[in-house]
Amino acid sequence: MDKQALRERTWDALEEEGIARFPFPPHGRIPNFAGADDAAERLADTAEWRKADTVKANPDAPQLPVRRRAMREDKTLYMAQPRLKSERPFLELDPAEVSDIDEATTVSGVSKHGVPVGPSEMPEIDLVVSGSVAVTEAGARIGKGEGYSDLEFALLRELDLVGDDTPTATTVHETQVIDKAPDPAPHDVPMDLLVTPERVVRTEGGEKPAGIDWSLLSEERIAEIPVLDRVR
């Protein structure tokens, strides 16, 4: 199956088996799932999590427990602004400065509580948490198809804020764990940790992107994302 067929199959299964949780439908998004809290707890039991002081996480619903756990454990949290369109495309949530962690870690609350920062204002990231539609035990991740998660990693890599040794993790339901996926492209970010409500899988990983593959970006898309033009 190609990636879109795998997405559709996974979204359908989550809906038909009653696993999907709000927001509905699961289709077209990083799907929320029953047991997301348990998956976050399992991630928090890993050495990679315990060592991390700075965490970059996606803003989607299934990783909300991860984001809240990070801030409650005094980890500084970074989330990308929608489509990276701001001059300062990341939002910083410092637990020492945030009074309402529950609100601040939501999609709507982060824009109120987060401090916009550019990559040059950020420290090195200790752990990257990504949402997935599907993922293999070898660490091949399938997102919702827009490519922003991979682009965010590549942007941070260009500025040496992440590297080959930066652990990458995703929390998913067992239904989202698939046997096979198309071969990853060089710009795809492999997952080192696959965490479900039942288990933690340390994957085969793979080589992480060395930076931005400019050949994949049109001039129109670069113009839409101001930080890309500056980095180039």
pLDDT digits (tens, 9 = 90+) for 28-60: 999 999 999 999 999 999 999 999 999 999 999
Mean pLDDT estimate for the chain: 96
> Residue 147 — pLDDT band, cuts 50, 70, 90?
confident
pLDDT of 199 > 90? The answer is yes
What's the whole-number mean pLDDT along residues 188-205?
96
User: CA-to-CA distance for 48 and 221, rounded, in angstroms?
Assistant: 34
pLDDT of 79 > 90? The answer is yes
Strand-pair category, 177-178 with 141-142: unpaired
Q: Was domain 3-231 assigned CATH 3.30.470.20?
A: no
**Which residues, in sequence order, are bridge partners of residue 141?**
135
Length of the chain: 232
pLDDT digits (tens, 9 = 90+) for 155-189: 999 999 999 999 999 999 999 999 999 998 889 99
**Which residues, in sequence order, are bridge partners of residue 79?**
91
Which of 48, 153, 164, 65 shows the shortest CA–CA distance to 106? 65
